[in-house]
Amino acid sequence: MRIEEQPAYVLHARPWRETSLLVEVLSLDHGRMGLLARGVQGPKKQLLRAALQPLQSIRFDAVLGGELAQLRHAESLDVAPRLQGQAMLAGFYINELVMRLSPRLDPLPDLYFAYSELRAGLGQAGHPLAWSLRRFERDLLDALGVGFDWAHAADGEAIDPAARYRLDPQQGPLRLLSERSSSERRGLATGAALLAMAADQPPEAADLASLRPQMRAVLLHHLGGRGLKSWEMLGDLGRPRG
């Protein structure tokens, strides 16, 4: 099958043999794809190699005849964001997350556009990084068909902003009984944070921080219990400071 002028984002690239690259992309119409880019070494291939770097927006032609497509042409559509510090680690994280969770050759246009939106905001003023990542995790789960109703608990009751909830990967938010100890409350998401996710509005810093461990637990479930390398590097991103 010939694929022509397909927009995509580069997730990962690694050397293959002496002159080629194995490239993973998130494409608009075909979902995650593996591309074999042959003969990309040498000064005449500098523009092609630059187009095949992670986070780069590209348009490509390829021939799909098995698990890997043979790349025929690729060109950059813009300049990839130049990230530093935690924004750079966040870019590595979202790429690793998409590669681990999204199936190959399964069109997920909602995920493509969520990725596009997050990429555009990485490292930009006015785009709080922790909130951007939580939104992307939410949108990824939705695109994969395993998301939640953030405004209602698993029993159908409306989320109480003053309560605490555990996110069950299969059932959704489960309210903590009020008589539980304060130690059990720590690490659970606040109802205010869940309602913020439902409304797509940034919550207060402490509420935002409460989402992180619960979202990680949900993602770990869908990752089969095997965590991400980028989690170790991201460290305390999203925790309240001071």
Tens of pLDDT, residue by residue over 34-85, are 999 998 877 778 888 889 999 999 999 999 988 899 999 999 999 888 899 9
Identify the band that residue 238 occupies on the pLDDT scale cut at 50, 70 and 90: very low
pLDDT, position 182: 61
The answer to whether residue 162 sits within a structural domain is yes
Contacts of 106 (CB under 8 A, 6+ apart): 31, 32
Contacts of 195 (CB under 8 A, 6+ apart): 150, 151, 159, 161, 203
> Where in the sequence is the domain holding 30, given as residue range(s)?
2-76
CA separation for the pair 35, 111 (Å, rounded): 19
State the pTM of this model. Answer: 0.91
Average pLDDT score over the chain: 92
The answer to whether residue 24 sits within a structural domain is yes
pLDDT, position 234: 73
At 11, list the tokens. Answer: 């997730």
Do 58 and 101 lie in a common domain?
A: no
Considering 46, 76, 106, which residue would you say is the last residue of a domain?
76
What's the rounded mean pLDDT across residues 101-118? 97
